[in-house]
């Protein structure tokens, strides 16, 4: 049975001079999550933001903050993101010891997510999946926004969705990278129920209208 579909606008594509205003707009039009990409310049070839920005975001919204930690050593920073107000802390399976980080997230009373890059097989998630609240399939190489979705990643989502259903696991399945109105139905049909969209929303001069267009598609599935 398909779960409620949620939209997670990614602030990586937002106008940071108007960040609070844009967050309030997407919230008003129906977004439920807010995706925050945190990059260290080592695990991925880019640097973005950290806990201080999440603290500021927390003060202006009640949206679920999904902090995607693209960090070489996420365990060092888990408590910083807990204190900053992240609701979901999402680490990568490709880091040295994801199990320890997942335990630290759960011990801090937050939801735990595990992310896999396009080249990482779905099976990398299986040893941890029963502890997870969310599995994130990257459909582009992490580090930069505005890329095209890699079609092969849809099959990986299908594999994970099937595994989750067959084993009766209560975890959401999220996809991030190159998702637009033109292809979001394919993503949903692959079993994904948390949709990350950055350029498709904040690249639009009217982010609220972009959110409404996504929400109309979600409603057509009759489960929202």
Residue among 105, 84, 91 nearest 40 (CA) = 91
> Can you tell me the distance from the alpha carbon of 84 to that of 78, in angstroms, rounded to the nearest whole number?
10
> Can you tell me the distance from the alpha carbon of 37 to that of 6, in angstroms, rounded to the nearest whole number?
18
CB 9 within 8 A of CB 207: yes
Q: Which of 66, 170, 176, 216 is catalytic?
A: 176
Beta strands in the chain (DSSP E): 6-9, 33-39, 64-70, 88-92, 111-116, 134-138, 172-176, 194-197
Q: Which of 37, 66, 133, 172 is catalytic?
A: 37
Annotated active-site residue 15? The verdict is: no
Segment (H or E) for 104: helix 98-107
For residue 203, count CB atoms less than 10 angstroms from its CB and return exposed for 0-12, middle for 13-18, buried for 19 or more: middle
Annotated active-site residue 176? The verdict is: yes
Active site positions, annotated: 37, 176
């Amino acid at each position: 049975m398909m779960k409620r579909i949620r939209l997670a606008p990614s602030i990586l594509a937002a106008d940071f001079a108007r960040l609070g205003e844009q967050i309030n707009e997407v919230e008003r039009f129906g977004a439920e999550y807010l995706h925050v990409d945190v990059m260290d310049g080592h695990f991925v070839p880019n640097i973005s933001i950290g806990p201080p920005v999440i603290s500021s975001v927390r003060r202006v919204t009640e949206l679920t903050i999904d902090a995607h930690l693209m960090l070489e050593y996420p365990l060092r920073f888990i408590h910083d993101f807990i204190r900053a107000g992240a609701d979901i802390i999402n680490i990568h399976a490709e880091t040295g010891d994801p199990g320890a980080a997942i335990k630290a997230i759960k011990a801090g009373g937050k939801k735990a997510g595990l992310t896999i890059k396009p080249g990482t097989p779905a099976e990398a998630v299986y040893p941890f999946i029963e502890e997870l609240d969310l599995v994130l399939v990257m459909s582009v190489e992490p580090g930069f926004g505005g890329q095209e979705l890699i079609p092969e990643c849809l099959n990986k989502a299908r594999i994970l969705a099937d595994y989750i259903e067959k084993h009766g696991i209560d975890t959401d399945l999220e996809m991030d990278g190159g998702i637009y109105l033109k292809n979001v139905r394919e993503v949903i049909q692959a079993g994904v129920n948390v949709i990350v969209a950055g350029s498709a929303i904040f690249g639009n001069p009217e982010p609220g209208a972009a959110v409404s267009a996504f929400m109309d598609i979600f409603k057509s599935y009759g489960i929202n």
